[in-house]
Amino acid sequence: MFKIKNVAIIIANNIQFDSFKNAIDIMLKQNINVDIYVPQKYNNEGFNTMFDEIYQKLVQMKYKVFRDILEINYDILFMPYMFLQFNDLKRKYTIRYLYSLPTKPEFFFSLETNYIFDGFLCYGNYDAKCLKNFGLTFKIGNIKYLNYKKQNRNIKTKKTYYICQLTEITLQ
């Protein structure tokens, strides 16, 4: 088993960052070099604005953030889906992380989307079963809730009353 020293992560928006932040912070605490890459120069102004905003946010939070490829050999490249801009990043393994529920299964579980990945960080059995033919699957749950601690709250519940109005419908 090799020791992970250098990791690259592709983050394109706030949702991806919030979904993977716990993993980034854990790797940093383990003294793993974590370089975050944010896309740039897309052919859509809305996407460019989104990329610029997440880039500025990550810089302000003091993460190591880059837009151009560094000449580093990474042990792992984590990304939510393929970004052509980062195809030339040197790495041993490419791992896909999930950042939302698969609302478009034909895209999410397709060969075209997944053929480049060596492994997948999965929420559970369903994702792992669907992705196992493309590479290794790791059922780790939702990373966003990795350090979640359930709070014991003494909240008094109110009774909720539902009022329904029944209407007769006649079909002709």
CATH of domain 6-145: 3.40.50.11720
Is the pLDDT at 5 greater than 80, yes or no? Answer: yes
Q: Which of 81, 139, 68 is nearest to 110 (CA)?
A: 81
The CA dihedral of 99, 100, 102, 104, to the nearest 10 degrees, is -100
Tell me the two tokens of residue 88.
Answer: 């030339």
Report long-range pairs for 127-132 (Cβ below 8 Å, ≥24 apart). Answer: 127/98, 127/102, 130/105
For the whole model, what pTM was predicted? 0.80
Cα→Cα distances 22→30, 52, 142, 145, Å = 13, 22, 10, 8
Containing 166, the helix (H) or strand (E) segment is none
How far apart are alpha carbons 60 and 52 in whole angstroms?
Answer: 12
Q: Residue 60: count other Cβ atoms within 10 Å of its Cβ.
A: 9
Q: Where along the chain do its domains lie? A: 6-145
Interval 109-125: pLDDT, tens: 788 888 899 999 998 89
Alpha helices in 33-102 (DSSP H): 45-60
Better-scored residue on pLDDT, 51 or 100: 51
Interval 85-95: pLDDT, tens: 999 999 999 99
Q: Within 13 Å of residue 49, how many CA atoms lie on the same side as its CB?
A: 3
Interval 27-78: pLDDT, tens: 999 999 999 999 987 777 888 899 999 999 999 999 999 999 999 999 999 9
